[in-house]
Chains A and B, each alone.
Chain A
Amino acid sequence: QPLLTQPSSTSASLGASVTLTCTLNSGYSNYKVDWYQQTPGKGPRFVMRVGTGGIVGSKGDGVPDRFSVLGSGLNRFLTIKNVQEEDESDYYCATDHASGAGFVWIFGGGTKLIVL
């Protein structure tokens, strides 16, 4: 089944751009991936879904235009332009997988974004 790998942390200066990466394991390059944002003490928030063709469907409610996605090969990227203090959060990617054995959602380990 698919696995999702994320760096544990990254940092960006206020006003700069940052790209978060989620990498699928070999054989799953056609999978779409969701991005979720979680600020400390709160529930996750859906950001958007991405495939190799870019965004799939719509952004989550209230997600700023500064957030965009791209997909290439086994990588799914979330880019945040003009990073703000409120963007400091944990970001998780996830994918759904259906097989003869059933259905699962798989999450990556999450990336902590630190805003400097």
Chain B
Amino acid sequence: EVQLVDSGGGLVKPGGSLRVSCAASGFIFSDYGMNWVRQAPGKGLEWVSSITSVSDYKYYADSVKGRFTISRDNAKKSLYLEMNSLRAGDSGVYYCARTNWDSSGVLGMDAWGKGTTVTVSS
């Protein structure tokens, strides 16, 4: 069974840092690109960042560029998001999600974690 378990959320002061993690199981982690998607309280889904299967490309939403860093450890089957210079607007639930694909291209984000909550407040 494909499983993604998000962890590492918590309360952090504005300007602070936090690292959230996602542990994968049930599939060959190194075959898939991965993503972070967040959801502010009462709001919709917002894409944050993506990384290719072997970390050769990393992409970021403009709202987090220069502050957040996505990374992965294929040996540990884990995905990470290092968040610096955090703002109140970064508060929300952070989900990791797997990018499914085949020879025709991307097929969507077909597996999601349950999310981890980040609260930025003084």
A residues sitting closer than 8 Å to B (CB atoms) are 34, 36, 38, 42-46, 48-49, 56-58, 60-61, 90, 92, 94, 96, 102-110
Q: Which residue in B35, B45, B61, B95 is a CB contact (below 8 Å) of A110?
A: B45
Specify which chain A residues have a CB less than 8 angstroms from the CB of B113 in the assembled complex. 43
Which residue from chain B places its CB closest to the CB of A59 in the assembled complex?
B110
- Please name 21 pairs of A and B residues whose Cβ atoms are closer than 8 Å in the assembled complex, sorted by A: A34-B108, A43-B95, A43-B112, A44-B109, A45-B112, A46-B100, A46-B110, A46-B111, A48-B108, A49-B107, A56-B107, A57-B108, A58-B107, A60-B110, A94-B45, A94-B108, A104-B47, A105-B35, A105-B50, A107-B37, A109-B44
How many residue pairs bridge A and B at CB < 8 Å? 67
A44 to B97, CA, bound (A): 9
Q: How large is the interface on B (under 10, 10 to 19, 20 to 34, 35 or more residues)?
A: 20 to 34
Contact A103 B59 (CB under 8 A): yes
